[in-house]
Amino acid sequence: MLQRLLCITLFFVNGVTSYAQWANATIDSITINADRDQIDYNQSLVMGNNGNLHAVYQRARGGGGWDIYYRERDALTAMWSPEVMINDSANMAFSPAIAIDPNTDEVCIAFEANNGNSLLMVAKNAMGTWTKQAVSMPANSNSSATITIDLLSNVHVAWITEDSANVYKIAYATDESGSFATQVLTGSDPGPFGSGAAPYITCSDTGAAYIAYRGGNFGTYKIHIANNDDLGSANWSYNVFASPNGEDYINQLQIGPNNTMHLMVAGNGCWGCPWNAYYYDKPAGGNWSGPSQINTSAAGEVYEFAIDQQGNVHCLINEVSGNFYTGNVYHATNAGGSWNSNALIADGATYNAHMLLDANDKGYAIAHSGNSSPDMEVIVIGEKQSTVGMAPTPASMALSIFPNPATERIFIRSPHVGQLDVYNYNGQLVHQQRYNGNNAVIHTATWNKGIYLLQLTTATSRVSKQLIVQ
């Protein structure tokens, strides 16, 4: 796995220099194990105001189903935190979606938990402590969660459920009243095969929710959009959106600056026909534009997209040939006034890729890589160190390690008192001790060779340093 990733990295860095979003980008594998790790096709990666990346992914568990894991990458050290399992070990979990509070950087993850009854859950991380709350009542189906957090820090969740007649419907909940209030959208129409409706939620500046999903019946699928008129309102409007495709299966909907709406849809016209993706926008108070074809170089699907500081749209195309994914990924943008796309990764083994842009318009993408179950790993593409929100470490939080690289032992020096934790490349805690402000010695002779993260945590701050053991 590591050797193959090195080859991809060389291709990637040399192959996309025409797009500034990917300059200096590398490929970082955040799972390396004998298990099957993968992401869902949306909302698997977010970035905080401090430049830290937050990722959520799934790992196959014995006996079927998945466990959900979370990791955070420090913008300063470029090191990933240890894995945190989000679901309870007694319950299988499915389809996680992650969002981040624009005001507090608090992370929320929505997912389906299932131990015979299906529950829609939301997990929140406040100051390092995870709490979980059931949003739905138990039902035959509470699946395909999508989540967003508005400018007032209200959490909004949408998912697929079944009503009392076992008909698929879209469900919605927000916590604007302090606890989640759930609605079933009676006018929604996911159709008889509604488990594949794949909803996606976004919000306006005022907290009104917009939910796009695949609606209708097989052979006539189109993208449907449901929206309410205010924060938490039960007054919903419903619209069906038709593209040049015979059928549409995939959609993305975002509300950008000035409440301009941006929509992407992808589909085809028949079994085995080429997949095409189209883009539309709608200014506040205006009408939808006509379709602009996104995939100029390859047929494929588009997932979560990003809008840069100039209002240009960027997305990743997951190439499809006939009815099969090729494992190749293209970057597409309408910068310059028209859509164009170029190969980003052409290794034939990268899937479900979707992206975000930081405040400096640098691109970051998440995907899973590998063509066999044990070989599937989660990768993040982008610069190793983000410059967003970074501030220099105060001199009072200085931390020195000597020697580095190390073989038998290291010496630690810092003026602060706190806890020392050392994590290996896989995020496993390998050493822990109290640090009293004096020189400390840690013996490393029995450690495996590789890269480690050493963290000193005080009552008010945390500083991290990379350590190499040879």
What pLDDT score was predicted for residue 19? 67
Give the alpha-carbon dihedral of 280, 223, 121, 109, to 10 degrees. -20
Of the listed ranges 21-30, 108-117, 119-128, 451-460, the one predicted with least confidence: 451-460
Strands (E), 208-255: 209-215, 222-228, 236-241, 247-255
Annotate 201-229 with b (16+ C-beta within 10 A) or e (fewer).
Answer: bbbbeebbbbbbbbbbeeeebbbbbbbbe
What pLDDT score was predicted for residue 17? 35
Q: What is the spatial distance between Cα 145 and Cα 111, in angstroms, rounded to a whole number?
A: 6
What pLDDT score was predicted for residue 385? 61
* DSSP assignment letter at 241: E
The answer to whether 424 and 413 have CB atoms below 8 angstroms apart is no
Average pLDDT over residues 104-115: 92
pLDDT tens-digit series, residues 421-458: 898 876 778 998 888 776 788 999 999 988 888 888 87
pLDDT tens-digit series, residues 200-230: 999 998 899 999 999 999 999 999 999 999 9
Average pLDDT, the chain: 87
Confidence of residue 12 (pLDDT cuts 50, 70, 90): very low
Average pLDDT over residues 153-182: 94
pLDDT tens-digit series, residues 46-63: 999 888 999 999 999 987
Which residues lie closer than 8 Å to 291 by C-beta, 6 or more apart? Answer: 243, 244, 278, 279, 280
> Where on the phi/psi map is residue 259: left (φ > 0), alpha (ψ -120 to 50), or beta?
left
Q: What is the spatial distance between Cα 427 and Cα 29, in angstroms, rounded to a whole number?
A: 12
Return the closest-CA partner of residue 2 out of 469, 360, 397, 451.
451
| Residue 394, amino acid | P
Res 30 pLDDT > 50: yes
The answer to whether 378 and 57 have CB atoms below 8 angstroms apart is yes
Res 470 pLDDT > 80: yes
The enclosing H or E element of 15 equals helix 2-15
What pLDDT score was predicted for residue 459? 67
Share of the chain above pLDDT 70, in %: 91
Q: What is the spatial distance between Cα 466 and Cα 271, in angstroms, rounded to a whole number?
A: 51
Q: Around Cβ 69, how many Cβ atoms within 10 Å?
A: 23
Which residues lie closer than 8 Å to 112 by C-beta, 6 or more apart? Answer: 93, 94, 95, 118, 119, 120, 121, 142, 143, 144, 145, 159
Angle at 137 between CA 136 and CA 142, to 5 degrees: 60
What pLDDT score was predicted for residue 178? 86
Average pLDDT over residues 146-150: 96
Confidence of residue 386 (pLDDT cuts 50, 70, 90): low
- Which CB contacts under 8 angstroms, 24+ apart, belong to 139-144? 140/166, 141/168, 141/195, 142/112, 142/118, 142/171, 143/94, 143/95, 143/112, 143/118, 143/195, 144/95, 144/112, 144/195, 144/197, 144/198, 144/199
What pLDDT score was predicted for residue 25? 86
Res 397 pLDDT > 60: no
Q: If you write DSSP's letter for every residue of 368-434 in order, what string do you get?
A: EE-SSGGG-EEEEEE-SS--TT--PPPGGG--EEESSSBSSEEEEE-SS-EEEEEE-TTS-EEEEEE
Res 188 pLDDT > 90: yes
Sign of CA dihedral 199, 204, 209, 210: negative
Which comes out higher in pLDDT, residue 154 or 15?
154
pLDDT tens-digit series, residues 276-330: 999 999 998 899 999 999 998 888 999 999 998 888 999 999 999 988 999 999 9
Res 389 pLDDT > 50: no
Return the closest-CA partner of residue 47 out of 123, 129, 127, 105.
105
Return the closest-CA partner of residue 69 out of 81, 78, 51, 52.
81
Which residues lie closer than 8 Å to 201 by C-beta, 6 or more apart? Answer: 146, 147, 148, 156, 157, 158, 172, 209, 210, 211
The answer to whether 185 and 158 have CB atoms below 8 angstroms apart is no
What pLDDT score was predicted for residue 161? 95
Q: Characterize the bridge pairing of strands 84-85 and 92-100.
A: unpaired
What pLDDT score was predicted for residue 396? 42
Res 106 pLDDT > 50: yes
CA separation, residue 114 to residues 39, 42, 50, 67, 335 (Å) = 18, 21, 34, 11, 43
Q: What is the spatial distance between Cα 280 and Cα 275, in angstroms, rounded to a whole number?
A: 17
The answer to whether 344 and 16 have CB atoms below 8 angstroms apart is yes
Return the closest-CA partner of residue 217 out of 238, 190, 239, 235.
190
Q: What is the spatial distance between Cα 108 and Cα 81, in angstroms, rounded to a whole number?
A: 17
